[in-house]
Amino acid sequence: MNYRNIINKGASILRNNAILTANLDAEILLSNSLNKTREEIILNLEEKLNVHQINYYYKLINRRKKKEPISLITKKKYFWKSEFIVNKNVLTPRFETEFLVEEVLKIYKQSKKIHVLDIGLGSGCILISLLKERNKWQGTGLDISSLAIETAKTNAKIQQVYNRIRFIKSDIDKLYLGKYDLIVSNPPYINKIGYNELDIGVKGYEPKKALYGGIDGFKVIEKVIKKSKIILKNNGLLAIEIGIGQHCKASELLRKNGFKVVKKVKDYQNINRCLFAKKLDNEKF
């Protein structure tokens, strides 16, 4: 069997199992199983596979057929300008989160030395991407999950920013250390109804701790805002990602805690996705 035939067979299995991206996924899984780029596959469609390669490919197709995300099968996901290692212990980085990175970099154009805290580090995609863009920045990455911290450490080593990050395994509620110039966070923000309605490809494979934000979705958002009020320097910035329909309540929470919302950023679907808020000087507030 050659590349062309096996891609067609793989895609047909996926299509029959309601996978919308069947053709693309069949190609990606072949390139992954042969350890070749997609271009190498497309340019050599008549190339033959051996029996081991065929069996291995069908194993991957069977996993995808059950809705396992491509990122978890291939163990990698591209985010901002780098490829990140992902696994079942971390949220797979989402495109929407790149809006947060992009806006922070617009606000902090120069690489003046600052200390940035990432609350809910996960794979490390936000903090690592920022440190790679700004070589004088120091980071602290905090997560409640020790397995997430391990994954972020691996990514930080691969991306060569490990020495600039302090890793803390803790609930944000229990952090009493430090003062930061900038806090970034993509907390879990999906509410109970939303969580129950999530696609099996997300709910069945990604960590609940990374997605579920309590009954109203605000449990961790509120913790992040209240803690940031204490550990952010005056005039420091909190950049936080939020979910659909959360921006009014989140803005109100920020105001009540001494922040001024300076920017809201919408994603490709026109949903208010990130809020950027300055901590006001305590005395003026």
**Where do contacts with ligand SAM occur on this chain (CB under 6 A)?**
90-91, 93, 97, 119-123, 125-126, 142-145, 148, 171-172, 186-188, 209-210, 220, 223
> Between 14 and 142, whose beta carbon lies closer to ligand SAM?
142
* Rounded CA separation 262/102 (Å): 15
> Which residue number is nearest to ligand SAM in terms of Cβ?
122
> Between 61 and 161, whose beta carbon lies closer to ligand SAM?
161
> Between 31 and 186, whose beta carbon lies closer to ligand SAM?
186
> Between 217 and 258, whose beta carbon lies closer to ligand SAM?
217
* Rounded CA separation 277/257 (Å): 11
* Rounded CA separation 285/157 (Å): 41
> Between 32 and 145, whose beta carbon lies closer to ligand SAM?
145
CA atoms within 13 A on the CB side of 116: 32
* Rounded CA separation 116/93 (Å): 19
Instruction: Please identify which residue in the block is written with the tokens 């994954």.
Output: 151
Min dist. Cβ of residue 242 to ligand SAM (A): 11
Nearest to 26 by CA among 64, 78, 76: 64
Min dist. Cβ of residue 269 to ligand SAM (A): 17
Spatial neighbors of 60 by CB under 8 A, at least 6 apart, are 29, 32, 33, 73
Neighbours of 186 (CB within 10 A): 26
Min dist. Cβ of residue 85 to ligand SAM (A): 13
Structure-block tokens of residue 122: 């996960």
Min dist. Cβ of residue 143 to ligand SAM (A): 5
Min dist. Cβ of residue 26 to ligand SAM (A): 27
